[in-house]
Amino acid sequence: MTEESTFTRLDMAFSRFLSRRSALSGAAQDNFEKLIARLSFEQNQGHSCIRIDAKARKAVLASGLASTTDAAPLIVEDDRLYLQRYWAYEKNLVNRIGAMTRVNVSHADAEALLDRYFPTTTGETDWQREAAKTALNRTFCIITGGPGTGKTTTIVKILALLQELAERPLFIALAAPTGKAAMRLQESIGNSKSALPCSEAIKQSLPESVTTLHRLLGSRPPSPYFRHNAEKPLPFDLVVVDEASMVDLALMSKLVDALKPSARLILLGDKDQLASVESGAVLADLTAALPDHTVELKKAHRFDVTIKNLAEAVNLQLPEAAWSALQAGNENIGLLNQDAIAYIAGQRLDYLRAIENSNDIEQIFNVFKRFQVLCANRAGKYSVADINSRVERRLASTGHINPIGTWYHGRPVMITQNDAALQLYNGDIGLCLKDSEQNGKLMVFFQRPDGSIKKCLPARLPHCETVYAMTIHKSQGSEFEEILIALPDQHNPVLTKELLYTAITRARKSVKILADQKVFNETVLRKIERFGGLAQKLMPTADL
């Protein structure tokens, strides 16, 4: 297969559009067109730019459409070629983050306060205390770590510490990329506040509500712009962003652009998870470039050790160790050695019994969220489409659901298209149930980040799909007690160790994997590599 055969129609149309407006002709124009098609294709694969050699650099600059500054559709910087927009996002992020890293803060009472919030009990390094110390002394801080390492517990203590040290109460915003992630952070913070070793007044000064980044910035669909920007900055003294690995280059650039000059920014996330769906690997680049502003929490406090060890083996690209762990007979991790559809349908019986025996929507959601199937692909064998269809037919054949038409009592759905008017967003999960308040009329119920329940008529919903299974990408920001990870029967480019690591770390208690050993090993051995200039351009400021 040639490189050109992988390009999309959009890649080819875009490259032709630019090449015909270039100052080039003949073979030079043809080569330029292929280069731009590759740039378009790679940008859609998550890369911020592509690497070019000296010959290509000279040809691009001769096209009349490229510049080494910001005055052209294409930007050439060292050995990198960008679309102008992504170069601008990267430049803005480097400038804003770079400025924040040059500001240090000192507090005379910090050590005494740290001792109160993080009392020393062993001779080991308390990484949560180190993270708090870094957050107190820096206006920009990254706290990274795997699941169960205490990122939320740590950030709650940091918020209280900063409020105690502030001359006036800080105005704080808590945000996450998705509604699911926002709901999880909000729940965790609410559970952690009561144990803080501080006054009730300090506890009351801490925010409890968490919003999505798009709501925080004020999305204005269908425009890509936000209400808050450099001209109209956010009013907050401190912004905390959870699940920061999901934030792409464009959104992170727009976030830092909207911070007022004196604001602090704290990013929380797992640098080893999947990078954002869109361009960039921002969290990984920032942690690599700014080690003095990054603290990794290393001790797991509430994560099953067998799941932790499996995740680490995958992350370290040790397929034999990971496969052996799955075959060891541990009750918390293992391979699925039975009919997958029968197993999934059986797992869903608790949920179906709950909707028949209870009108408590919150309880029904809790039962539904206990178990989830995570798929690598949307189409093909053991994909989202395959499993959702077959499980639905299986449950119907056994009489547990009655799917007459699209909507039926018990149908779980995931929103796939944002609807700002209804405040429903891509990834939100709803349950179609008979509404006891409306004589059994079918309504779709959603849990909001503040814990409230929202219900809508099925006909009013934006596009959605059945969700007995979801993609691993869509599961980011979620946690489930038990998961089944379904890999396809053949390897494909989507399968990477980051994808598998992300899936495994969604589970709190149990992981089962449906996979062929060859496909599993190839997945563990393949690593995502995203090309960009962010880390390289930030590194000179890393020693400040």
Nearest C-alpha neighbor of 355 from the set 364, 365, 346, 367: 364
**DSSP letters for 211-264:** EEHHHHHTB-TTSS-BS-SSSS----SEEEESSGGG--HHHHHHHHHTS-TT-E
Average pLDDT, the chain: 91
At 331-388, the pLDDT tens digits run: 899 999 999 999 999 999 999 999 998 889 999 999 999 999 999 999 999 999 999 9
Output the six-digit token pair for 540.
């000179």
Q: What is the mean pLDDT of residues 417-444?
A: 88
User: For residue 37, what are the contacts with CB-CB under 8 A and spacing of at least 6?
Assistant: 4, 7, 11, 12, 14, 15
Q: What is the pTM of this model?
A: 0.89
| 525 neighbors 496 (Cβ within 8 angstroms) | no
Q: How far apart are the first and last CA of the chain?
A: 48
Q: What is the DSSP string of 441-493?
A: EEEEEEE-TTS-EEEE-GGGS-SEEE-SEEEHHHHTT--EEEEEEE--SS--T
Residue 485: predicted pLDDT? 98
| Binding positions for ATP | 145-152
pLDDT at position 2 over 60: no
pLDDT tens, position by position, 14-60 = 999 999 999 999 999 999 999 999 999 999 999 999 999 999 999 99
Kindly report, residue by residue over 93-118, the tens digit of the pLDDT.
999 999 999 988 888 788 889 999 99
Asked if residues 461 and 444 have their Cβ atoms less than 8 Å apart, the reply is yes
- Alpha carbon distance 435, 443 (integer Å): 6
Residues 6 or more apart in contact with residue 278 via CB below 8 angstroms: 46, 248, 249, 250, 251
List beta partners, residue 412.
431
Q: What tens digit of pLDDT does each residue of 490-529 get?
A: 989 899 999 999 999 999 999 999 999 999 999 999 998 8
**Measuring CA to CA, which residue among 181, 165, 301, 280 is closest to residue 240?**
181
- Chain centre to alpha carbon of residue 13: 31
Q: Which two tokens stand for residue 184?
A: 């999880």
| Residue 118 DSSP class | S
Mean pLDDT of 135-148: 92
pLDDT of amino acid 339: 95
Binding residues: 145-152
Q: Which domains does the chain have, with CATH numbers?
A: 9-78 (no CATH), 91-301 (3.40.50.300)
Is residue 82 scored above 70 in pLDDT? yes
Give per-residue pLDDT as tens, 318-342: 999 999 999 998 889 999 999 999 9
Q: What is the pLDDT of residues 178-219, one digit of tens each?
A: 887 888 888 888 888 888 999 999 999 999 899 989 999 998
Record the tokens describing residue 334, joined without a space. 């293992």
Query: What percent of the chain stands above pLDDT 90?
Result: 75
Q: How far is CA 290 from CA 176, 267, 282, 299, in A?
A: 22, 13, 12, 22
Residues 6+ apart with CB under 8 A from 58: none
Amino acid at 97: I
Residues of the chain above pLDDT 70, percent: 97
Per DSSP, the three-state class of 38 is helix
What are the strands of the beta sheet with 66-67, ordered from one edge?
A: 50-51, 80-83, 74-77, 66-67
Is the distance from CB of 534 to CB of 289 less than 8 angstroms?
A: yes
* DSSP code at position 419: B
Does the pLDDT at position 1 exceed 50? no
Task: Output the pLDDT for position 295.
Answer: 96
Q: Give the type of residue at 433.
A: L
Contacts of 207 (CB under 8 A, 6+ apart): 159, 172, 173, 174, 189
